[in-house]
Amino acid sequence: MVRFIFTTTATTPVSGFHKGRQHLAEKMSEIAAKERGEPVEIPHWTFHDLRRTAATGMARLGIAVRVTEAVLNHVSGTGGGIVAVYQRHDYADEKRAALEAWSRMVLSLVEGEPDNVVRLAHGQ
């Protein structure tokens, strides 16, 4: 039996990304216009842009490329060849730490915290 983590029907994977992206883009423009008190034009973006932004941000945070690739479920030079055949570590703990660091960075941008403050995860 195939089980899907991201699904809207419980029987098929998520689809309709274009409609979802369009809905998000409209809401973003609506919220931005309300905050500014005037229409705001947000340049077109795709979900791939979000992946690229996360990868770039993780590099800025010093997260290892192999961990970032694991987060993105991406295979390239560091995950191909012999590594792809023999290395079976899933990087679950490293991915969790990377995503927690990325979420802290995004929240600090959204909440307007100073960028010279580095929060460490509990227990570090």
Q: How do residues 87-105 score in pLDDT, each as one tens digit? A: 778 899 999 999 999 999 9
Angstrom distances, CA of residue 2 to CA of 7, 11, 15, 90: 12, 8, 16, 20
The answer to whether residue 39 scores a pLDDT higher than 60 is yes
Q: What is the pTM for the complete model shown?
A: 0.69
Residue among 77, 74, 113 nearest 95 (CA): 74
Number of CB atoms found within 10 A of residue 45's CB: 13
**Of the ranges 4-8, 53-57, 112-116, the best mean pLDDT one:** 53-57
Residue among 106, 76, 69, 75 nearest 91 (CA): 69
The answer to whether residue 124 scores a pLDDT higher than 60 is no
Average pLDDT, the chain: 85
